[in-house]
Amino acid sequence: MAGTFFGLEIARRGMMAHQRALDVTGHNLANASTPGYSRQQVIINATDPHSNPSLNSSASPGQLGTGVEVSKIRRIRDEFLDNNVNRAAADTAYWEEQIPFLERVQASISEPASEGIGKNLTEFFKSWMNLNNTPEDPGTKAAVVEIGDQLASLMSSTYNQMDSIQESVVRVHENSKTVYGGQLPVYIDKINSVLVEMRDLNKSISTAFDLGQQPNDLLDKRDKLMEELSSFGPVQVTYEAVGQSNTAKIKALRLFGRDVLTEGTEVELVTDGKNLLLEYHGGLDHNSQYNLTYNAYETNQGGSLLGLEQARQDIIGFKEKLNDIAITMRDKIKSVNTEPPTAGHTDFFLGDLESDSFRVDDTLVNNTTLLDGDKAGDIANLRDTNISEDKPFTFEGYYSVLVTEVGGAVKAANDMSEGQAAINKQITALRDSISGVSVDEELSKMIQYQYGFQASARMVNTIDEMLDIVINRLT
């Protein structure tokens, strides 16, 4: 049968269980505003009764309860919503990362503007038409050279700004084919830092589980790091179940399809001279590569790395179009001037934008009277001819295409970013409605556990009084 102090032990267990429940409730309330924190819940179960039935058990009216215990402190988390949040983080980052760079390109073009390239192209060909009317007029010749020099300077300045924006994504050293500077290498360093922290956390979590503990706060930190890692690129994770938890230990972790969980694994950004590559060192996929440039437009993968590379490729395309206008205009004016050969001919435009050498011939700048006005009409007519067979646009039309593409890229990035951000916000809110802390609910539980503790304490006091009578007052 139960001993004299049996009731005290039951009351003590009740006090301890409700004290632990109050501690967990306080922990929840303290972290109500902590990003990534998951609400924790105390699982309270009745302890084994006294005594367990057996063949030799004495007959009694029934088994006596022995009180209560905290069997587990679990965190409230939905792994499927976590996967959705991580996916949404990748999709959002893919578009968000492009916006600032593309908007800077749009600002560098500054169209429509009274002094923009489009306006200067129009004025340039008009000046040749004016020279055709007065081919020997020195003032008109000077005007053609001045407007041409202004157009060349403006195109060079715009191209150089685009080049600077491209290098703010990443700089590629052409001779050594190394990568340095820019936003992409910064993110690579962050990825490696996150991977080191995740591996350390996974070890601590595994150790805790092996000891029979429930490392809820460590799991929250790991999930937060997982979401951060997902923003860089697609992450695939395989878990090893422990007890009732299906996401206890990470068994395998892959970034862009390559192993990154193995100790010592790190990611490096390299180039083969044309493409940007992620190179994996150490681990199961030692020295394997992932081609960022080739996959830059794979929107189904997502992540800031691919988003930045898409923005960089877009900028490279914008630069090529602008350079096409410059060198085609240079070559067509040259071909008009040299057919048939003209005595004392001087090229009008020299160089190209890519080598930062596009300019009006210095000889003409220094002496505008050397400009041959006899071909002015033919050069003016170039305004209405197509750039080439595969580019059926005039110079002004082709430049308008460039402006439209830049504006379209900015709009697409903004629209997609807003849409994905809304999805991300909705999914995150849904996850937080399950995992987040409700202050009102926790306060209600606090009162419940407080009363439970007080009732158990009152039981201790009552039993103490009863024992006092038995021990000290009975004679």
Beta carbons of 468 and 55 less than 8 angstroms apart: no
Identify whether residues 187 and 308 lie together within a single domain: yes
Is the pLDDT at 383 greater than 70? The verdict is: yes
Residue keyed to tokens 């699982």: 43
Whether residues 160 and 241 share a domain: the answer is yes
The owner of tokens 């419940």 is: 448
The label of the residue with tokens 């267990």 reads 13
β-partners of residue 268 are 279
Residues 6 or more apart whose CB falls under 8 angstroms from that of 229 comprise 191, 194, 195, 198, 235, 255
Long-range contacts of 78-82 (CB under 8 A, 24+ apart): 78/431, 78/434, 78/435, 79/239, 79/246, 79/247, 81/427, 81/430, 81/431, 81/434, 81/435, 82/223, 82/226, 82/227, 82/247, 82/431
For residues 169 and 260, membership in a common domain is answered with yes
Both 53 and 108 in a single domain? no
Q: What is the pLDDT of residue 53?
A: 59
Which residues have C-beta within 8 Å of that of residue 334, sequence separation ≥ 6?
A: 347, 348, 349
Instruction: Give domain status of residue 86, yes or no.
Output: yes
Could you read off the pLDDT of 2-12 as tens digits, one per residue?
A: 666 788 889 99
**What's the total number of domains in the chain?**
2
Specify whether the CB–CB gap between 42 and 20 falls below 8 A.
Answer: yes
pLDDT bin (cut points 50, 70, 90) of residue 376 is very high
Burial label, 158 (beta-carbon count in 10 A; 0-12, 13-18, 19+)? buried
pTM score, whole prediction: 0.88
66 in a domain, yes or no? yes
Identify whether residues 10 and 127 lie together within a single domain: no
Residue 456 within a domain: yes
> Are 169 and 263 in the same domain?
yes
> For residues 162 and 108, is the Cβ–Cβ distance under 8 A?
yes
In a domain, 351, yes or no: yes
User: How confident is the model at residue 146, as a pLDDT?
Assistant: 96
Query: For residue 35, what are its two tokens?
Result: 């990003």
pLDDT band of residue 58 (cuts 50, 70, 90) is: low
72 and 95 in a common domain: no
99 and 22 within one domain: no
- Out of 186-190, 236-240, 324-328, pick the least confident: 236-240
- Mean pLDDT to the nearest integer, 71-90: 90
**What's the pLDDT tens digit per position in 420-442?**
999 999 999 999 999 999 999 99
pLDDT recorded at residue 247 = 61
Beta strands in 262-378 (DSSP E): 266-271, 276-281, 289-291, 349-350, 359-360
217: containing domain? 80-435
Radius of gyration of the chain from its Cα atoms, rounded to whole angstroms: 37
C-alpha–C-alpha distance, residues 127 and 289, integer Å: 54
pLDDT of res. 63? 73
Q: Does residue 106 lie within any of the structural domains?
A: yes
- Portion of the chain with pLDDT greater than 70, in percent: 93
- Do 167 and 216 reside in the same domain of the chain? yes
First to last CA, the chain: 25
Cα separation, 370 vs 394, whole angstroms? 28
Q: Give the range with max mean pLDDT: 63-67, 269-273, 305-309.
A: 305-309
Residue 1 inside a domain? The answer is no
Residues 164 and 298 in one domain: yes
Give residue for tokens 């009363």.
Answer: 451
Tokens 């490279």 sit on residue: 316
Tokens 């900015």 belong to 410
In a domain? residue 291: yes
Is the pLDDT assigned to residue 1 strictly greater than 60?
no
Residue 122 and residue 110 share a domain: yes
Inform me whether the pLDDT recorded for 151 exceeds 80: yes
* Same domain as 125, residue 22: no
* Residue 193 lies inside a defined structural domain of this protein: yes
Q: Determine the longest span between alpha carbons in the chain, in angstroms.
A: 141
